[in-house]
Structure 1
Amino acid sequence: MSAQQRLRLAPLLLALVLALPAQAEISVADDSGRTVRLATPARRIVSLAPHVAELIYAAGAGDRLVGTVQFSTYPEAARRLPQVGGYSRFDLEAILALKPDLVIGWQSGNPAEQIARMQSLGLPLFLTQPDRIDDVARNLEQIGTLAGTEATARAAAAHYRARHKALAARYSARPPVRVFYQVWKTPLMTVGGRQIISDVLTLCGGRNVFADLTALAPTVNEEAVLAADPEVIIASGMDQARPEWVDDWRRWPTMTAVARGNLFHVPPELIQRHTPRLLDGAEQVCGQLEQARSRRPAAKP
């Protein structure tokens, strides 16, 4: 091409460049109500909770995850990433060293003072707080938007919602079952009505006997459990094994849950993490409540 031809084409090329749409800023409101803004999709993400790391992978952004916290064990790839401490106390210097362009945290699980410190440093911080089953799908879509993996995230969210709908259609209208969900033995901890596990119980036709408590993970006493007389006790514990302490309730043979043999266990990874696997845990809970219904005394004619 001659110099004269290039001069004639220059105005046309400039016009074409100017006509290209500028990349829009990414703007997403997080669960704390703050709006997170990114100029471009995140490429270096740090997760501040095990459930967050799992959500990031499920949203198709696992290759953008550069750091996690302790107990980030699923999927397997998450185990191999650098750790920046635990969700209840993380190492801010270690986070900064990873040079993230997005940090995703857990509003009720991360220390408020450390969250405030990160915000004061100007780190782009997105907080999750999924208190209801539907919130998991919403978080997937939000992470997909922030990471530029919208198609994968939308597909994962749609699959999750369809599965949730199917479980609700099958179990939510079943005869109600009074349930005590035990998180831990000492102190004796349960879940309040605003906690996502309480929503799982409702999905399965269960009724959380401590649903009126507003704390997410309140401490109760043995006398309160005995007074509530649950038909079912479900324990989680710390790992895949059934905790021995769930059988301590057998000291009270007149309690309905004990008298009918309704002392159950669900692995905590399936019920205490706000991820798509929550519905795996929900399926187990629903099956357990069906067992409890089958053990009810036959109605007298």
Structure 2
Amino acid sequence: MRLLALFAVFIAMHARAAITVTDDTGAPVTLPAPATRVVSLAPHVTELLFAAGGGGRIVGTVSYSDYPNEAQAIPHVGDNKALDLERIVALHPDLIVVWRHGNAARQMDRLKALGIPLYYSEPKRLDDIAASIDKLGALLGTQERARAASTAFTRDISQLRGKYAALPPVRVFYQVWDDPLMTLNGDNVFSEVIGVCGGVNVFAAEAPRVPTISTEAVLAANPEAIVTATPGATKPDRALPALDRWKRWTSMTAVARGNLFGIDGDVINRPTPRIAIGAAELCRDLDMARAKR
């Protein structure tokens, strides 16, 4: 009986040690113990893992996983188009964090077949970023540090929302790419950031998440501000070649008032805590647009 009781205690302790969270597909991810060897298969994932306190446990990343600086020293196992599966296996990871729509589906199927726990990451809302940090912290056993990071991010966004969201709205066109001309609809993090700043995404109602649009559609929408991603920080006198195409349309409000803005793509395109920095820049830009009325 005593042996049975001890065995029952052992089983109960083992069950309590197991960690289960839900990833961004809604699927449960269970680890028997906190992950100590993690492979990150997207730049934003690498940032989230560092924010959650697990940077020192990342044994492999992909191209452009360049933030924070320490991430640049981690070996690469491929990029968003092709992965070196043999190298991933050789790293003996106990957790692989993948980008649901960024990593090749065929290779994801092969990763699944390896039996290594996969966590799919694709935050679509600002709240998802904070939740992702907390969930990764749970899988890493770094809950305290993760909670501090998620709380700070939520606070920063809340402060921006309180300062700008209720101001007179600014109609915004976000140019993702110039050839072909592409934007974002309302089902993404950056469109929510526009709302935090008191802006309105003029193409929020489009069906595709990344719709291809025409010049005529932009002219018809007549945005008050046009925003695009640039390399490096925003400067008032910065040349924005990607937006030069619009300067001929002097009757469009954004052009007539000089409201063509560029923001460092790393802080607006990656769903990580740094998007709070991009949001602050955008809020200042839209406030400049209001001042020109």
Q: What TM-score results when the alignment is normalised by the length of structure 1?
A: 0.90
Task: Give the whole-Å Cα distance in 2 for the aligned partners of 1:31 and 1:176.
Answer: 31
2:174 aligned partner: 181
User: Does 1:276 find its partner at 2:273?
Assistant: yes
Task: Give the whole-Å Cα distance in 1 for the aligned partners of 2:116 and 2:213.
Answer: 38
1:236 aligned partner: 229
In the TM superposition, residue 243 of structure 1 has moved relative to its aligned partner by 3.9
Unaligned runs of 5+ in 2: none
For 1:236, what is the secondary structure of its paired residue? Answer: strand
Task: Give the whole-Å Cα distance in 1 for the aligned partners of 2:115 and 2:106.
Answer: 15
Q: Quick one: which of 259, 264, 281 aligns to 1:262? A: 259
1:60 aligned partner: 53
* Cα-to-partner distance string for 1:91-150 (whole Å, 9 max, x where unaligned): 222211211100001112222222222112212100111111111100000000001100
* Contact 1:88/1:111 (8 A) holds in 2: yes
User: Does 1:191 find its partner at 2:184?
Assistant: yes
User: Does 1:203 find its partner at 2:180?
Assistant: no
Q: Percent identity?
A: 47
User: Computing the radius of gyration over CA atoms, which structure comes out larger, 1 or 2?
Assistant: 1
2:80 aligned partner: 87
Q: Quick one: which of 283, 286, 290 aligns to 1:286? A: 283
Task: Give the whole-Å Cα distance in 1 for the aligned partners of 2:131 and 2:81.
Answer: 24
* Contact 1:41/1:146 (8 A) holds in 2: yes
In the TM superposition, residue 223 of structure 1 has moved relative to its aligned partner by 1.3
Range moving further from structure 2, 124-133 or 113-122: 113-122
1:6 aligned partner: none
Q: Quick one: which of 95, 113, 121 aligns to 1:120? A: 113
* Contact 1:137/1:161 (8 A) holds in 2: yes
Task: Give the whole-Å Cα distance in 2 for the aligned partners of 1:173 and 1:73.
Answer: 35
Task: Give the whole-Å Cα distance in 2 for the aligned partners of 1:131 and 1:261.
Answer: 31
For 1:273, what is the secondary structure of its paired residue? Answer: coil
2:138 aligned partner: 145
Q: How does 1:15-164 map to 2 (within 5 A)?
A: 21-22=13-14, 23-164=16-157
Task: Give the whole-Å Cα distance in 2 for the aligned partners of 1:226 and 1:172.
Answer: 25
* Contact 2:232/2:263 (8 A) holds in 1: no
CA RMSD of aligned residues (A): 2.0
Task: Kindly tell me the number of residue pairs found equivalent between the two proteins.
Answer: 285
1:218 aligned partner: 211
Letter in 1 for 2:261: F
In the TM superposition, residue 60 of structure 1 has moved relative to its aligned partner by 0.4
* Cα-to-partner distance string for 1:211-233 (whole Å, 9 max, x where unaligned): 01232222112111111111000
In the TM superposition, residue 80 of structure 1 has moved relative to its aligned partner by 0.6
In the TM superposition, residue 89 of structure 1 has moved relative to its aligned partner by 2.5
* Contact 1:236/1:242 (8 A) holds in 2: no
In the TM superposition, residue 163 of structure 1 has moved relative to its aligned partner by 1.1
